Amino acid sequence: MTQPTHFPPAQGAAHDAPASPTAHPASHFIRTIVETDLAAGKFATRRWRGTPGAAAEQATAPLDTARLRTRFPPEPNGYLHFGHAKSICLNFGLAEQYGGRCHLRFDDTNPAKEDQEYVDSIIDAVRWLGFSWEQGDETNLYHASDYFAWMLAFAEHLIVTGNAYVDSQSADEIRAGRGTLTQPGVDSPFRTRSREENLDLFRRMQAGEFADGTHVLRAKIDMASPNINLRDPLIYRIRHATHHRSGDRYCVYPLYTFAHPIEDALENITHSICTLEFEDQRPFYDWLLERLAETTTLADGSNVGGLLQRPLPQQIEFSRLNLTYVVLSKRKLIQLVEEGHVDGWDDPRLPTLVGARRRGYSPEGFRLFAERIGVSKSDSLIDFALLEDCQREVLNESAERRIAVLDPLKLIITNYPEDQSEECSAPNHPQQPELGTRTLPFGRELWIEREDFMEVPVKGYRRLFPGNQARLRYAYVVRCTGCEKDADGNVTAVLCEYLPETKSGTPGADSVKVKGNLHWVSAADGFAAEVRLYDRLFAVPAPGARRVDENAGDAEGLERSFLDDLNPNSRQTITAQLEPALRDAPAEARFQFERHGYFVADRVVSRPGAPVFNRAVTLKDSWSKG
C-alpha cells in the first residue's frame, strides 16, 4: 500500500466528503508534525525486536518497519466514552494513514479500581470502531503493569545518578514544601541523603518493610522551578494493594507521570499524543527520558546510562472533545449508572461507546465525526447535533429502508374484498438499486399513523380526511370516506375506498394526482413490536451549568447538579406495527424507518422472530432553534 503524504487543505474538505468518511482527510497540526518527521527521517534509525524493550534489548534487532508508532492508552477503570473515540480515531488513524502501528496499551499501573470487565469492554469498543492493533506478526496489545521490572530498574538508575531520593516527609509536609504558583518550594530535609542510603531505603520499600505513606521516591530536579511539576515530583509510592494482574508481587507503584513516558519509550512510540492538561507535564516527560537515555560518568569513573533507545518519543497535546447535551467524565458517568438514572453502561442514552453501539450509532459515523471536528489545541465545545448529523449521513447511505407504524390506527378499505391480498414491491434503498426490493403484503385492513388522519383537517393538511385522496406509498391511491369512533368519540378506524387503477409501478399510477403520501403496514401480515424512542439524556446544552437567565436572580439556590438537567423524556417505549420483513432482523441490523428515522434491532433484548428496536436518530434535527 502506498502512503499518501499530502492532503488537501482543511477548508471545505469536511463538508464535501460524502462517500467514505476517511476519503479526504483534512490536514491538522499533528498530521503536519508527522509528515515533517517522516520527511526528515527522524525515526528511521529505531530498532524493534517485535516487542517492547530497553535500549540494550532493541540494539541488535532489525530496523523498525513501522514508520511511526502511536498508542491509545486507556486506564481500565471505566467504559470508553465519545471523547475516547476522538483519541482512538486520531491515534489509530495516523498509524493507518502513514504506514505506522498503533498500540492498545492498558495503563494499569495504579492497583486500585482496575478490572478485567473494563479491559474486555475497551477491547470490544476499539474493535467495534474498526481499528486493530494486530498487524503481521505484531500483536501490540500491552499492559503497562508488565513494565514494572523496567520501571524499578530505571528508578534505581535515577538514584545511582543522583537524580532521585527517598523522601520520608508526610504527604502534608510534601505538599506544603512544594510552594505555590507565586512562591518557590523548599527543599526536603531528606533531599541530601546519600546514594547508598537512598538505594537501601528504596530496596526496603520494595521488600515491604514500610507501611503505606511512610516514604516516597522523588525525582531530584528543582524546588524553585516556575513549573510546579518539576519541583521534585513523586515517582514511586508504597501501596500494599493487590494488582489485578501482578497480584501481590509489588508493594510500590509508580506515579502515572513517571510510568507513562517510560511505557512510551519501551514501546518505541514516536508520537505520544495526549490531551492538553498534560502540557505542563511535558518538561518532566522530556527530563525523565533524557536522564535514562544519556550516559553518566559516576565518581568511580564508570559510565552508566543509555537505557533508552533514541530518538526518544515526543509528547504532543491536543484539546479534548467536549460535547453539548452529554457529560464526558468517568466520574459523572459512573454516578449516572450507579444511581440508576440509566439502565447500565450500555444504556443507549449514555455517551459510552457500548451505549452508542446499542443505540444504533455506526462506527463509520464516529470516524466521520472525528474527521469533521478535526484536531487542534484550542478548547472547543462541539454541538451534539454534529455527531447526530454524521450518524445520519452514514446511516442514510448504508441503512435499508423499512416501514414501521409507530402510532397505529386502523385503515379499512371498504371496497377491497375481505379474502383478498396482494403484493407490493418496495426498494430497499432509493439511491442504491443494487440493494434490491422487498415485498409488502397489502390487504383490506392496514395500519397507518394516527397523525395521518384528521376528521376536521387544519389548513394545509394533505393527508387523510373525509373526501380527500392520498397515496398509500408503493400501493394505491385511496379516498377517505369517514371514520369509526368509540363511545368517547375517539377515532378507532379510518374508512376509505381504493382506486384500483392507481397501483404504484403500473401505467395508471400517475392517473390521479395527490399531495399526501402515507406509509402503512398490512394488519394481517405485519406484527407488533416494542420500539424505544430515545432522545438526548440531558435537556440542556451544558448539564449542571448555570443558566444565563438565572444569573440575574439571587445567588442562593443556583448550585445545580448535572442531574437536575436530565431530560425526563429521554426514553419512550411504544408498541409499533412493523412490516413483516423486519420480523427476522438480526441483532444490530440498522434500518431507516421511512418518515421516522434510523433504528436498530437491539443487541441485548431482541429475540429470534421478536426484535426490539431502538431509535438511533431522527431524520432531521429536532433540537436546533427555529
Contacts to ligand ATP by CB under 6 A: 73-75, 83-84, 86-87, 274-275, 320-321, 328-330
Buried b (16+ CB within 10 A) or exposed e, 467-491: ebbbbbbbbbbbbbbebeeeeeeee
Identify what 314 binds: ligand ATP, Mg ion, none; CB under 5 to 8 Å per kind.
Answer: none
**Residue closer to Mg ion, measured from CB, 75 or 156:** 75
Q: What is the dihedral of CA 33, 38, 40, 46, to 10 degrees?
A: 110
Nearer to Mg ion, 114 or 167 (CB): 114
Q: Residue 321 CB, nearest distance to ligand ATP (Å)?
A: 4
Element of type H or E holding 177:
helix 171-177
- Rounded to whole angstroms, the Cα distance separating 352 from 327 reads 10
Q: How far is the CB of 132 from ligand ATP (least distance, A)?
A: 18
> In this structure, what are the phi and psi dihedrals at residue 508, rounded to the nearest 5 degrees?
-85, 0
Phi and psi for 398 in degrees, rounded to 5?
Answer: -100, -25
Alpha carbon distances (Å) from 558 to 107, 325, 335, 514, 542: 38, 19, 21, 55, 14
Cβ partners under 8 Å of residue 512, min gap 6:
469, 477, 499, 502
Exactly one of 195, 310, 320, 332 is catalytic; name it: 320
d(CA 599, CA 406): 12
Cβ-based nearer residue to Mg ion, 257 or 517: 257
Shortest distance (Å) from residue 75 CB to ligand ATP: 4
Nearest residue to ligand ATP by CB is 83
Q: Which is nearer to ligand ATP, 329 or 376 (CB)?
A: 329
- What is the nearest approach in angstroms of ligand ATP to the Cβ of residue 191? 31
Q: Return the range that interacts with Mg ion (CB under 5 A); candidates 58-66, 69-77, 195-203, 456-464.
A: 69-77
Binding partner at 274 among Mg ion, ligand ATP, none, C-beta below 5 to 8 Å by kind: ligand ATP
Looking at the Cβ atoms of 119 and 406, the one nearer to Mg ion is 119
SS (H, E, C) 18-76: CCCCCCCCCCCHHHHHHHHHHHHCCCCCCECCCCCCCHHHHCCCCECCCCCEEEECCCC
DSSP state of 452: G
User: Which of 35, 57, 75, 197 is an active site residue?
Assistant: 75
**Sequence-ordered alpha helix ranges (H) in 178-299:** 195-206, 256-266, 282-293
Question: 330 an active-site residue?
Answer: yes
Q: Which of 31, 231, 330, 358 is catalytic?
A: 330
Q: How many residues bind Mg ion (CB under 5 A)?
A: 1
Min CB(75)–Mg ion separation in Å: 5
**CB–CB of 617/600 below 8 Å?**
no
Q: Is the dihedral of CA 9, 13, 19, 22 positive or negative?
A: positive
Of ligand ATP, Mg ion, none, which one does residue 84 interact with (CB within 5 to 8 Å by kind)? ligand ATP
CB of 437 to ligand ATP, least distance (A): 43
329 binds, among Mg ion, ligand ATP, none (CB under 5 to 8 A by kind): ligand ATP
Is residue 338 part of the annotated active site? The answer reads no
x/- letters, 94..123, toward Mg ion (CB under 5 A): ------------------------------
Query: Closest CB to Mg ion belongs to which residue?
Result: 75
Q: How far apart are CA 453 and CA 132, in angstroms?
A: 51
Per DSSP (E only), the strands in 385-459 are 400-402, 404-405, 408-413, 421-427, 437-443, 445-449
The grid coordinates of residue 537 equal: 439524556
539 binds, among ligand ATP, Mg ion, none (CB under 5 to 8 A by kind): none
Using CA atoms, how far apart are residues 621 and 624, in angstroms rounded to an integer?
Answer: 6
Segment near Mg ion (CB under 5 A); pick from 75-83, 117-125, 335-343, 578-586: 75-83
Given a contact cutoff of 8 angstroms between Cβ atoms, the answer to whether 289 and 267 are in contact is no
Is the CB of 312 or the CB of 316 nearer to ligand ATP? 316
Is 269 or 521 the residue whose CB approaches ligand ATP more closely? 269
Picked from ligand ATP, Mg ion, none, the partner binding residue 83 (CB below 5 to 8 A depending on kind) is ligand ATP
| Nearest to Mg ion of 75, 445 (CB atom) | 75
239 is catalytic: no
Q: Cβ 346 to ligand ATP, closest distance in Å?
A: 17
- Looking at the DSSP bridge assignments, the partners of residue 273 are 316
For residue 586, give the C-alpha cell. 438480526
Minimum Å distance from CB 312 to ligand ATP? 19
557: left (phi over 0), alpha (psi -120 to 50) or beta: left
Smallest gap from residue 353 Cβ to ligand ATP (A): 12
Residue closer to ligand ATP by CB (options 52, 74) is 74
Strands (E), 98-229: 101-106, 141-143, 164-167, 216-219
* Binding residues vs Mg ion (CB under 5 A): 75
Q: Which positions are catalytic?
A: 75, 320, 330
